[in-house]
């Protein structure tokens, strides 16, 4: 009888997801936001995500053996709760609650989990329930699924969990051994989030903007070193400036921010005007450098012995989406490879919690070299979705969608590309994409005008044939998940400036045939028509919207934008003339 394990995330209040393992094989995983069509699905339980996983695995609810969640009770005898209480001494209501009732969030979430399982007819008494600490779930997601051999250094850099914000650990022989943990409010990702908030962006979605913005600034112009004190062994956030709670928080129009009025006194008003004016662009650069230096010092100090032996580093947590940091980690002495989970944020802890529970049972977990774990739809389903639309359009089944897409791209058109099972995680990796020709400088303006409406200074990422990538990136390091930046060779930098950050790097996606054969053929066709196997690639969604999941979602977006070509499986959809 197979061991069926269901993993759930979402206890923090956003990014709920579900993942399902059959024995050691990850069969399905999906974020609830993709099914609800509500970005981050705040406050929701992964109800629809669980239903999808059960359907995809062809598992009946009563066949589920164990359920794992990425949140766990923390003992009063652990340092975590006492550290939190001590560091928030100035907010006694929080300090006392941490000591007296420190697992209240866990109990509330547990009640919601039980209600959800009851609704799905998964019997509570018939399952093994496994609560996994949040940072351990992050660690498990990147250790068990990455396929590394031997010892692996693990670095989880996160905003928050139960109390832990940062974990340095070693993975070996199917077990994860903690080396050092840091607890709230001491969070490097929290420092970055505070600067993101101060610079006028949403903390969940704005960090990538700050990272890109930082390449335009001068980190030496302003000193932000008093935001965090670090020695390599330890670090400590300055809670007089950032990571504040209660009366220390800066408030504007009744909304509390993640920094204090003292930060405003020090740096000036929170940004409300031009992004690139002095001093804000330089603050972004200074914050990015501080973040990189503090994080790399922790890895160097705590994981040096592991890295000297194996050279393998695995990274997860919300901070793992910072591709500039990941580039710096790869450049550290002794580091030969850096593997970053494609869903490094909280949704990925659904996979991690389940993987941890499976490993506890002594079952070997099969590595997963791709992120295509969500719903897939065949050509007939795509045609039926088209038939239900009232808008004028033309549709036809084509024999070679890859060739047609390359033909349109070479001709300077944008193509919405919808193929196979949906990606798990925030990156478009060849199944739910908007594609453009990177050689045409107007492509960024075209994408922004027709669908994305992003800031003009923000760059898009390339998908590159693996045969061409070493020449462009001057590196043969894997880049399957668009989680790391690489220096672009000067010749290619001049040829494709729209894909290159101001500092000469790009967030690359290197495509391998064995991982994504159809997308690979598209790039090959592009190479035949243009001389280069590269496309500009961004996710198939509109601003503030979850990535497209179904053909119906794709058509809704298509007709609600100025895109002119949509290829869904073998169906080419174009808009009819008015």
Q: What's the pLDDT score for residue 578? A: 53
Cα radius of gyration (the chain): 23
Q: What's the pLDDT score for residue 447? A: 81
Q: What's the pLDDT score for residue 446? A: 77
d(CA 516, CA 521): 9
Q: What pLDDT digit, counting tens, does each position of 295-319 carry?
A: 999 999 999 999 999 999 999 999 9
| pLDDT exceeds 80 at position 278 | yes
Whether 105 contacts 335, CB under 8 Å: no
**pLDDT-derived band of residue 358, with 50, 70 and 90 as boundaries?**
very high
- In this structure, of 80-84, 193-197, 421-425, 455-459, the range with the lowest mean pLDDT score is 455-459
d(CA 11, CA 406): 43
Mean pLDDT, all residues of the chain: 95
d(CA 157, CA 139): 10
Residues 450-466: what's their mean pLDDT?
81
Residues 157-170: what's their mean pLDDT?
97
Helix (H) or strand (E) holding 397: strand 393-397
Q: What pLDDT digit, counting tens, does each position of 108-124 carry?
A: 999 999 999 999 999 99
Which candidate, 359, 313, 336, places its Cα nearest to that of 157? 313
**pLDDT-derived band of residue 577, with 50, 70 and 90 as boundaries?**
low
**pLDDT-derived band of residue 444, with 50, 70 and 90 as boundaries?**
confident
d(CA 437, CA 411): 8
Task: Count other C-beta atoms under 10 Å from residue 394's C-beta.
Answer: 11
Q: What's the pLDDT score for residue 102? A: 96
Task: Count other C-beta atoms under 10 Å from residue 220's C-beta.
Answer: 10
Residues 549-553: what's their mean pLDDT?
98
SS3 call for 429: coil
CATH 3.30.420.40 domain range(s) in the chain: 4-146+344-360, 188-340
Residues 415-423: what's their mean pLDDT?
98
SS3 call for 539: strand
| Length of the chain in terms of residues written | 578
Whether 547 contacts 541, CB under 8 Å: yes
Residues 256-276: what's their mean pLDDT?
90
Residues 163-191: what's their mean pLDDT?
97
d(CA 432, CA 254): 39
SS3 call for 325: helix
CATH 3.90.870.20 domain range(s) in the chain: 379-575
Q: What's the pLDDT score for residue 457? A: 66
Q: What pLDDT digit, counting tens, does each position of 208-235 carry?
A: 989 999 999 999 999 999 999 999 999 9
Residues 263-282: what's their mean pLDDT?
88
**pLDDT-derived band of residue 276, with 50, 70 and 90 as boundaries?**
confident
| Percent of the residues in the chain that have a pLDDT greater than 90, as a whole number | 89
SS3 call for 275: coil
Helix, strand and coil in the chain, % to nearest 5: 40, 20, 40
Phi, psi of 82 (to 5 degrees): -70, -35
| pLDDT exceeds 80 at position 570 | yes
| pLDDT exceeds 90 at position 274 | no
> Which contacts of 99-102 are long-range, i.e. CB under 8 A and separated by 24 or more positions?
102/74, 102/76, 102/163
CATH number of the domain at 4-146+344-360, please? 3.30.420.40
Q: What's the pLDDT score for residue 190? A: 96
Strands 128-131 and 337-340: unpaired
Whether 427 contacts 483, CB under 8 Å: yes
Q: What's the pLDDT score for residue 319? A: 97
SS (H, E, C) 201-246: CCCCCCHHHHHHHHCCCCCCCCCCHHHEEECCCCEEECCCCECCCH
Residues 382-398: what's their mean pLDDT?
96
Pick the CATH number of 379-575 from 3.30.70.520, 3.90.870.20, 3.30.70.100, 3.40.140.10: 3.90.870.20
pTM: 0.96
d(CA 71, CA 315): 19
CATH number of the domain at 188-340, please? 3.30.420.40
Q: What's the pLDDT score for residue 498? A: 82
Q: What's the pLDDT score for residue 318? A: 96
């Amino acid at each position: 009888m197979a061991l069926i394990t269901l993993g759930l995330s979402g206890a923090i209040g956003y990014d709920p997801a579900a993942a399902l393992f059959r024995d050691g094989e990850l069969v399905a995983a999906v974020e609830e936001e993709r099914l609800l069509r509500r970005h981050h699905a705040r406050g929701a339980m992964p109800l629809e995500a669980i239903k999808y996983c059960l359907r995809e695995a062809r598992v009946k609810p009563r066949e589920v053996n164990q359920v794992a969640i990425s949140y766990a009770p923390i003992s009063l005898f652990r340092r975590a709760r006492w550290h939190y209480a001590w560091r928030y001494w100035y907010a006694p209501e929080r300090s006392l609650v941490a000591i007296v009732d420190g697992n209240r969030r866990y109990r509330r979430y547990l009640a919601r989990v039980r209600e959800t399982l009851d609704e799905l007819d998964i019997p509570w008494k018939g399952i093994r329930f496994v609560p996994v600490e949040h940072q351990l779930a992050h660690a498990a997601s990147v250790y068990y699924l990455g396929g590394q051999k031997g010892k692996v250094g693990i670095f989880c850099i996160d905003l928050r969990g139960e109390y832990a914000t940062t974990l340095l650990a070693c993975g070996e022989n199917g077990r994860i051994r903690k080396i050092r943990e840091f607890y709230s409010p001491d969070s490097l990702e929290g420092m970055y989030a505070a600067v993101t908030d101060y610079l006028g962006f949403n903390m969940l979605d704005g960090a990538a903007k700050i990272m890109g913005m930082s390449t335009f600034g001068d980190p030496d112009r302003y000193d932000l070193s008093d935001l965090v004190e670090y020695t390599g062994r330890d670090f400590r956030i300055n809670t007089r400036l950032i990571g504040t709670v209660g009366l220390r928080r800066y408030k504007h129009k009744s909304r509390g921010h993640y920094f204090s009025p003292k930060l405003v006194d020090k740096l000036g008003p929170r940004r409300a005007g031009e992004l690139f004016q002095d001093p804000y662009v330089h603050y972004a650069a200074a914050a990015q450098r501080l973040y990189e230096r503090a994080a790399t010092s922790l890895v160097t100090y705590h994981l040096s012995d592991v890295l000297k032996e194996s050279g393998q580093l695995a990274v997860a947590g919300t901070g793992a989406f910072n591709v500039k940091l990941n580039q710096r980690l790869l450049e550290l002495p002794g580091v030969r490879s850096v593997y970053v989970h494609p869903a490094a944020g909280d949704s990925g802890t659904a996979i991690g919690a389940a993987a941890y529970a499976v490993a506890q049972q002594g079952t070997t977990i099969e590595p997963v070299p791709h992120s295509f774990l969500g719903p897939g739809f065949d050509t007939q389903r795509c045609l039926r979705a088209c038939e239900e639309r009232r808008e004028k359009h033309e549709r036809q089944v084509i024999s070679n969608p890859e060739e047609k897409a390359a033909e349109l791209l070479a001709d300077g058109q944008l193509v919405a590309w919808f193929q196979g099972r949906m990606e798990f995680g925030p990156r478009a990796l060849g199944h739910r994409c908007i594609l453009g020709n990177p050689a045409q400088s107007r492509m960024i303006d075209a994408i922004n005008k027709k669908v994305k409406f992003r800031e003009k200074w923000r760059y898009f990422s390339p998908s590159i044939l693996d045969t061409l990538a070493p020449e462009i990136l001057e590196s043969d390091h894997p880049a399957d998940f668009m989680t790391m930046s690489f220096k672009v060779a000067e010749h290619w930098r001049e040829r494709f400036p729209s894909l290159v950050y101001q500092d000469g790097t790009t967030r690359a996606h290197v495509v391998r045939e064995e991982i994504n054969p159809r997308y690979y053929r598209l790039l090959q066709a592009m190479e035949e028509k243009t001389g280069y196997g590269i496309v500009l690639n961004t996710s198939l969604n509109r601003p503030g919207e979850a990535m497209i999941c179904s053909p119906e979602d794709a058509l809704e977006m298509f007709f609600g934008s100025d895109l002119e070509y949509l290829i869904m499986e073998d169906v080419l959809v174009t808009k009819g003339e008015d």
